[in-house]
Structures are given as structure tokens and as C-alpha cells.
Amino acid sequence: MSVQGASALRSRFKQAKLAFKDYGRNQWGPETVKLAKARVVVRTGATRNSIRIKSASQRRAVVQATRGARFLESGTQAHDEKARRKLAMKFAANSGTVFAKKVHKRSTPAKPFLRRSAEDAFKKHNFHDVLVTHWNAGA
């Protein structure tokens, strides 16, 4: 006993597997990078310049940002920093050079930009249409 159309169905499933790679690399990824670069808080521009598409496969696409983007995205908690290699840390302050064994760092609020950009890019480019196009191409 054999099922009619089994090879066509296998072909369609294979095309459907390939749909996300095309979508991630050519539509969702570039749009996410564009939106994230527009939304990131800029002081020197290093974080903005580090946002890029790292990879795109059949299962996922990865947009990466370095240069402290994780701390901007989720914020930080208040904490103390101690001198590690020397007896004291040296830094410039309003009154001149300051030496300290320990410094208290205040918490910083989250300024999310990457997750919102990814979600907005996914809403803008309808993956349903891409999937249907690849499904029909498999026939």
C-alpha cells in the first residue's frame, strides 16, 4: 500500500524548513538591526556600530550587539567595585585625581532596545506569507 502525493508532501516540508533562513537573513534580521540602531542610547556610537546579524540558519537568526549592550538592555544593580591588581583605583573626578580602595556604583535603569526591535521587525514582515510562498514552491 502506498500513499499518493507523499513525495510532493516531503518536498513541501523541505521547502517549509528553508523558509526561516531566507526570512531571517533577508527580512527580519536587517529590519531588526535597523530598528535597534535607531533605538539604542548613544554616547560614543560603539554599541550602535556593534549591532549586526551574527548568523541565520534554518531554525533561528541571531542579531548580536556587544560593547555593553546587555547592560543597556537589562540595566544593572547597585554594587561595589574593589581594586584588584593594585591597592587602590585611580580615576578623574571634578576635584582632580581620586584614589579609592572601593567605589560604590549606583544601579542603572534598563533602556531596552533590542528585544522591542526584534518583536517590531517580526510584526512588520509577515512570516506567514513567506512560509506559504515556500510551501507552494515545493509542489
Quick: pLDDT tens for 18-42. 777 777 777 788 888 889 889 888 8
Question: Could you give phi then psi for residue 84, rounded to 5 degrees?
Answer: -105, -55
Name the pTM for this structure: 0.68
Each residue's pLDDT tens digit, 45-98: 888 888 888 877 766 777 778 878 888 888 889 999 898 888 998 888 888 898
